[in-house]
Amino acid sequence: MVNVDRLARLKILATSLHEAMSRYDFSDSGLNLQHFPSECCHQACKLLTMFLFDHGFTEIEKCVGSRPDDPTGEHLWIIVEGFIVDITAYQFDDTLERAIVASDSSWHTQFHGRKKQFGKEQEPLGQFVSRMKIQYASFYEELKQEASRIATE
């Protein structure tokens, strides 16, 4: 059974982080985020995982897939408590949703996604998040604060 309050909170948080990332100047980050959402789904998934983990979502998996007509063009999104969450899907011409948060997404089925673990083999999610916070220390807290502010508007 779907927890409607949990799903609504997940949508608000994902949309808020998306908005904060859209406004943020990543030019000094050293990461491929300057043209968010284009070609940065891997980094965006890490940031989204960190942000949702900080807000109490601890059941998060990464999903990686590619279209049959473009097997080298990977796309990444996350699965949170069984829900598909993707804040970079609209970089593709065939979807307009800025943040997809859904129990099912026919758009994602074309990628033939497979779940993969974040981080190192057998690394607990909390440990991965802690390690990423160090890697993204130069901007994560500011981004998190802005997204949290947007979520309360």
Position 48: which residue type? L
**pLDDT for residue 1:** 55
Which residues on adjacent β-strands are paired with residue 39? none
pLDDT-derived band at 2 (thresholds 50, 70, 90) equals low
Condensed to tens digits (0 to 9), the pLDDT of residues 92-105 reads 877 767 889 998 88
Please tell me the distance from the alpha carbon of residue 64 to that of residue 120, in angstroms, as a whole number: 16
Please tell me the distance from the alpha carbon of residue 143 to that of residue 86, in angstroms, as a whole number: 18
What is the pTM assigned to this prediction?
A: 0.91
Percentage of the chain modeled with pLDDT above 70: 97
Least confident of 77-81, 93-97, 109-113, 149-153: 93-97
